[in-house]
């Protein structure tokens, strides 16, 4: 019967062998995948890695309120500016 030290040495050797075998198989799998991507002309979008539309930039909303003293504007979304706090917003509406 093997001793504890012998068994742990065998286990460590097996762990190393498993790691080496895994690395070899991963390299082969990546190589196979890359070749199939080239063969079939698969794009990143088709694999689900990137958006088909690209990055859509949000355009700023048009100004809805204007400070007559400074000309500052606010779209009406988000936190209201200090110059508008506690005041009647209707007075600051931009007429179009």
pLDDT along the chain (96 residues), means of 10: 93 96 96 95 85 68 91 91 90 85
**How confident is the model at residue 53, as a pLDDT?**
62
**How confident is the model at residue 28, as a pLDDT?**
97
**How confident is the model at residue 38, as a pLDDT?**
93
For 65, the enclosing helix (H) or strand (E) is: strand 65-66
Residues 1, 91: Cα–Cα separation, whole Å:
94
Listed in sequence order, the DSSP H helices in 1-96 are 4-40, 44-47
**How confident is the model at residue 64, as a pLDDT?**
92
Give burial (CB, 10 Å; 0-12/13-18/19+) of 74. Answer: buried
Reduced to 3 DSSP states, what percent helix, strand and coil does the chain have, rounded to the nearest 5?
50, 5, 45
**How confident is the model at residue 95, as a pLDDT?**
81
């Amino acid at each position: 019967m093997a001793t504890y030290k012998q068994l742990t040495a065998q286990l460590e050797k097996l762990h190393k062998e498993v790691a080496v075998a895994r690395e070899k198989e991963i390299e082969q799998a990546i190589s196979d995948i890359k070749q199939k991507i080239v063969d079939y002309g698969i794009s990143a979008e088709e694999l689900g890695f990137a958006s088909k539309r690209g990055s859509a930039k949000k355009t700023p909303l048009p100004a809805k309120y204007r400070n007559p003293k400074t000309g500052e504007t606010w779209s009406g979304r988000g936190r209201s500016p200090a110059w508008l706090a506690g005041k009647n917003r209707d007075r600051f509406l931009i007429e179009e």
